Chains A and B, each alone.
Chain A
Amino acid sequence: MNGNPIIEFQGVSISFGDISANSEVSFSVSAGTIHGIIGENGAGKSTAMNILFGLYLADQGKVLIKGKPVRFQSSIDAMNEKIGMVHQHFMLAETLTALDNILLYQKGSAFSILRRDEQKKHLEAIAKRFGFEIDFDAKISELSVGAQQRLEILKILSQDSEILILDEPTAVLTPQEVQDLFCNLQKLKSEGKTILIITHKLKEVMSLTDSVTVFRAGKVITTKVTSESNLAELAELMVGHRLVTPQERSTAADSSQTVLRVSNLNAQMNSSKIHDINFHVHGKEIVGIAGVEGNGQDILVRSLIDKQGLNKKNFSGEVSVSGTMVSFPEDRLRFGCLPSRPVWENFFLGQQGLAKFNWGPFIRKTEILKSTKRAIENYDIRPTNEFLPFEKLSGGNQQKLVVARALSQNPHFILAAQPTRGVDIGAIHFIHNELRAARDHGAGVLLISSELDELMTLSDRILVLYKGRFIAEFHRENFSEITIGAAMGGVEVITKNAEFL
């Protein structure tokens, strides 16, 4: 790497209360490169980027932009230094148009009149130059997630930013959209922009970045030239120890047993619909449901866990589960837990019917605490405090608790919706292994995920959901990212031996 560093962190530290989020963070980024910032959840990578973008003020250390020390009090200061950030959760107002969402960021006095036509022409020119075309008159709610992200990037470009920070940009995109994004980012790089990309997907780091800085436990472990490193090395640096590669599966699906059978299911809720859904899950089998979010996954989950809750007129078909069933809800904070209540209560939640936890009308708190402690130990949930409010745990630890709770009941059927969303690589590994173990013990698993990698490592079969229908089925021996990705984008794949039952 040649070229001058455009960004330099020199011994930057910040702590929140007694938790040190960044300590002595030093690294530099060359102008006109794509730089990866990787690390597990809570490793401090987002904190460092938030300091760069003016959202946090460092306690110690210096940040230099083009060799000049800066101390941003707010993101406005950062924007004035031509730094822009695309947050993981888009900063867009759904009911307003794409154009209005950009206009918000243009300077002007309170009562100045918005010159929409003029601005639209100007923005269209920028969009064209960088290949970020979007329909400016569409409301945000009508735009695909990919288009919303293009809009966010365009927002930054329209302010002439030279440094772009992208926080987990691919989390919500289809494989095709990821390709388009990377293509566009390369184009921006060739225009001289510097791009920082926060991610935990190492494959993406390898294919996109020029250099990469690894964070672990609030510290920078190293900065590497990407081409001189490899996947395994980066993974190890990130986690701090070797990851055990999963053993090949030791058992075959038990086709004598069907734990879930869904026939002719049609259901609808709000704007999401599913049609003519037929499938089954055997014991000792993991069936994956692939698909871009918003293609009916939410209503499918609802139909499986709470068909009584759906209006009769919006539900028809047959769903039968044999044996006990547990589910990990997709959005654990909203549906799976009581965020402000202690860990032990959350562990108890959903198990309140178990005889061992009850004594007449009373709960047996010591018994529950004992079980919670055991789960905390077995699943390595940190901090090891069963009285801590659930929301104080990191995402990975929250999900571990949810998984621990579900699997401790030895279920016959497990519905796992986005089981590793927002979870770091170590915990992902752990959860995957637990799911495999449950399968080997005879459970059937329905895995709904937007991560193709996850589906391909775990599943025996993958069904692709597109606009509420299954449009393709793949068996393990035919898994390929390209064909499954195409099906997720709506390309029907005619598989000769596709059996839809």
Chain B
Amino acid sequence: MDLFLFFTALFLATLRLATPLVFASLGGMISERSGIINIALESFMLMGAFVGAVAAHYSEHAWIGWMAAFLGGLAIAAVYAFFVIELRADQIITGMAFNLLAMGLIPFFSKILFNSTGSTPSLPLESRFSFEPLLVAALLVLALSWWLKNTRSGLWLLFAGENPQALLASGVSVKKVRWAAVTLSGGFAAWGGASLSLYLASSYSPLMTGGRGFMALASLIFGKWRPVPTFLACLLFALADAIQIRLQGVQINGTEIPVQFIQILPYIVTIIALAGFIGTSRPPKALGKEL
């Protein structure tokens, strides 16, 4: 019975922890499928987590925070899109710059708004989430998967990433498709961040994404840039995270394993998955290439 409880708890924890990853990796997916590398996911997530927490704090409704996070994500991603699509800035360097920017910008606003160096005030119990964002995430996976396969704009997205010249030749603006994809990716990744600050926790704390933007990218690669496999990859990494949390404080022969070692687990799983089990994962052909 104990074992049953243990596994149920582990399973539920996995689902909860997977939520931010799923949103972020879906964001990464539509951006990268359109041909734009997106290592700025981490910053989009941070932005979503912060904006969501702030809006929820002032409105006292988690779902208002949730929608505000989406808009915040769209906004920061639109700036990213402007740099990489219009100004043709290097996508990797710009992405890194955005990650650094978010790390600096958020404490700045936090200081102005709350006179704190990073954290937002905790949400009162009654205005917290009353639904499971994971359900939203799972529905989004199915919707995106269907959309990619069955609609004209889904086909546009695939061509933007595989052969933008062909898309152009068919009379569709590659730039517009990429703009739409990148900004939308910001919205989704921001939901990933907001599910951290509004769902797994009840406030924003500094750097709370802890590299999940990169782990979402890893899931994307592991899932070969396809929605359902990417979703499963997110679950795998979340499972590692859940196990890691369970293992903290476990003693072997009376000595406790230092918590830092245990916390490495999800990252090790990521590396092993990417290095060892991935097989051939082929990115979209025009990924990161200039038009």
B is bound to A? yes
Write out the residue numbers on chain A whose beta carbons fall within 8 Å of the beta carbon of B152: 103, 108-114
Task: Say whether A94 contacts B162, CB under 8 Å.
Answer: yes
Task: Say whether A100 contacts B163, CB under 8 Å.
Answer: no
User: B235 within 8 Å of A by Cβ?
Assistant: no
Task: Say whether B285 contacts A104, CB under 8 Å.
Answer: no
Write out the residue numbers on chain A whose beta carbons fall within 8 Å of the beta carbon of B162: 93-96
Residue of B nearest to A112 (CB): B152
User: B239 within 8 Å of A by Cβ?
Assistant: no
Residue of B nearest to A108 (CB): B152
Name B156-203 residues within 8 Å CB distance of A: 156, 158-159, 162-163, 165-167, 169-171
Write out the residue numbers on chain B whose beta carbons fall within 8 Å of the beta carbon of A101: 166
Task: Say whether A79 contacts B171, CB under 8 Å.
Answer: yes
Task: Say whether B166 contacts A111, CB under 8 Å.
Answer: no
Name A83-122 residues within 8 Å CB distance of B: 91-96, 100-101, 103-105, 108-114
User: A75 within 8 Å of B by Cβ?
Assistant: yes
Task: Say whether A92 contacts B163, CB under 8 Å.
Answer: yes
The residue from B151, B153, B163 contacting A93, defined by CB atoms under 8 A apart: B163
Write out the residue numbers on chain A whose beta carbons fall within 8 Å of the beta carbon of B156: 104, 110
User: B268 within 8 Å of A by Cβ?
Assistant: no
Task: Say whether A93 contacts B150, CB under 8 Å.
Answer: no
Residue of A nearest to B171 (CB): A76
Write out the residue numbers on chain A whose beta carbons fall within 8 Å of the beta carbon of B139: none
Q: A112-B151, A113-B151, A114-B152 are in contact. Are A93 and B165 (CB under 8 A)?
A: no
CA distance A101 to B156 in the complex (A): 11
CA distance A463 to B169 in the complex (A): 40
Write out the residue numbers on chain B whose beta carbons fall within 8 Å of the beta carbon of A92: 163, 166
Q: A103-B155, A104-B155 are in contact. Are A113 and B150 (CB under 8 A)?
A: yes
Task: Say whether B285 contacts A94, CB under 8 Å.
Answer: yes
CA distance A205 to B73 in the complex (A): 58
CA distance A93 to B155 in the complex (A): 11
CA distance A76 to B172 in the complex (A): 9
The residue from A94, A105, A110 contacting B153, defined by CB atoms under 8 A apart: A110
Task: Say whether A105 contacts B155, CB under 8 Å.
Answer: no
Q: A96-B158, A105-B170, A110-B156 are in contact. Are A91 and B163 (CB under 8 A)?
A: yes
For chain A, the count of residues having a C-beta within 8 Å of the partner chain is: 22
Task: Say whether A104 contacts B153, CB under 8 Å.
Answer: no
Task: Say whether A75 contacts B285, CB under 8 Å.
Answer: no
Task: Say whether A114 contacts B169, CB under 8 Å.
Answer: no
Write out the residue numbers on chain B whose beta carbons fall within 8 Å of the beta carbon of A103: 152, 155
Q: Chain B nearest CB: distance from A38 CB in Å?
A: 25
Write out the residue numbers on chain B whose beta carbons fall within 8 Å of the beta carbon of A110: 151-153, 156
CA distance A79 to B171 in the complex (A): 10
CA distance A117 to B170 in the complex (A): 21
Task: Say whether A104 contacts B170, CB under 8 Å.
Answer: yes
Residue of B nearest to A103 (CB): B155
Write out the residue numbers on chain A whose beta carbons fall within 8 Å of the beta carbon of B169: 75, 91
Write out the residue numbers on chain A whose beta carbons fall within 8 Å of the beta carbon of B282: 95
The residue from A93, A112, A113 contacting B158, defined by CB atoms under 8 A apart: A93
Task: Say whether B285 contacts A91, CB under 8 Å.
Answer: no
Q: Chain B nearest CB: distance from A155 CB in Å?
A: 9
Write out the residue numbers on chain B whose beta carbons fall within 8 Å of the beta carbon of A94: 162-163, 285
Task: Say whether B150 contacts A104, CB under 8 Å.
Answer: no
Q: A93-B166, A105-B170 are in contact. Are A111 and B151 (CB under 8 A)?
A: yes
Q: Chain B nearest CB: distance from A154 CB in Å?
A: 14
Write out the residue numbers on chain B whose beta carbons fall within 8 Å of the beta carbon of A79: 171
The residue from A74, A93, A105, A108 contacting B285, defined by CB atoms under 8 A apart: A93
Write out the residue numbers on chain B whose beta carbons fall within 8 Å of the beta carbon of A114: 150-152, 155
Write out the residue numbers on chain A whose beta carbons fall within 8 Å of the beta carbon of B163: 91-94
CA distance A100 to B156 in the complex (A): 10
Q: Chain B nearest CB: distance from A141 CB in Å?
A: 10
Residue of A nearest to B285 (CB): A94
Write out the residue numbers on chain B whose beta carbons fall within 8 Å of the beta carbon of A75: 169, 171
Task: Say whether A104 contacts B151, CB under 8 Å.
Answer: no
Write out the residue numbers on chain A whose beta carbons fall within 8 Å of the beta carbon of B151: 110-114
CA distance A114 to B148 in the complex (A): 11
CA distance A103 to B149 in the complex (A): 12
CA distance A95 to B171 in the complex (A): 21
Task: Say whether A111 contacts B165, CB under 8 Å.
Answer: no
Q: Chain B nearest CB: distance from A291 CB in Å?
A: 26
Residue of A nearest to B286 (CB): A93
Task: Say whether A93 contacts B159, CB under 8 Å.
Answer: yes
Q: Chain A nearest CB: distance from B150 CB in Å?
A: 5
The residue from A76, A91, A100, A109 contacting B155, defined by CB atoms under 8 A apart: A100
CA distance A113 to B285 in the complex (A): 25
Mark each residue of chain B from 261 to 291: 1 if its CB lies under 8 Å from any CB of chain A, else 0: 0000000000000000000001001000000
Q: Chain B nearest CB: distance from A153 CB in Å?
A: 14
Residue of A nearest to B284 (CB): A95
Task: Say whether B166 contacts A91, CB under 8 Å.
Answer: yes
CA distance A92 to B153 in the complex (A): 17
CA distance A76 to B167 in the complex (A): 12
CA distance A112 to B152 in the complex (A): 6
CA distance A100 to B152 in the complex (A): 10
Q: Chain B nearest CB: distance from A114 CB in Å?
A: 6
The residue from B153, B165, B171 contacting A91, defined by CB atoms under 8 A apart: B165
CA distance A111 to B163 in the complex (A): 20
Mark each residue of chain A from 53 to 94: 1 if its CB lies under 8 Å from any CB of chain B, else 0: 000000000000000000000111001000000000001111
CA distance A76 to B155 in the complex (A): 18
CA distance A100 to B167 in the complex (A): 12
Mark each residue of chain A from 281 to 324: 1 if its CB lies under 8 Å from any CB of chain B, else 0: 00000000000000000000000000000000000000000000
Q: Chain B nearest CB: distance from A339 CB in Å?
A: 15
Of B162, B165, B285, chain A has the most CB atoms within 10 Å of the CB of B162
Write out the residue numbers on chain A whose beta carbons fall within 8 Å of the beta carbon of B170: 104-105
Write out the residue numbers on chain B whose beta carbons fall within 8 Å of the beta carbon of A105: 170
> Which residues of A line the B interface, CB within 8 A?
74-76, 79, 91-96, 100-101, 103-105, 108-114
Can you name 5 A-B pairs with beta carbons within 8 Å? A91-B163, A91-B166, A93-B162, A103-B155, A114-B152
> Which residues of B line the A interface, CB within 8 A?
150-153, 155-156, 158-159, 162-163, 165-167, 169-171, 282, 285
| New A-B contacts (8) at CB < 8 Å, excluding given A74-B171, A95-B285, A108-B152 | A92-B163, A95-B162, A95-B282, A100-B155, A110-B151, A110-B152, A113-B152, A114-B152
Shortest beta-carbon contacts, A-B, top 8: A93-B162, A91-B166, A110-B153, A76-B171, A93-B163, A105-B170, A104-B170, A108-B152
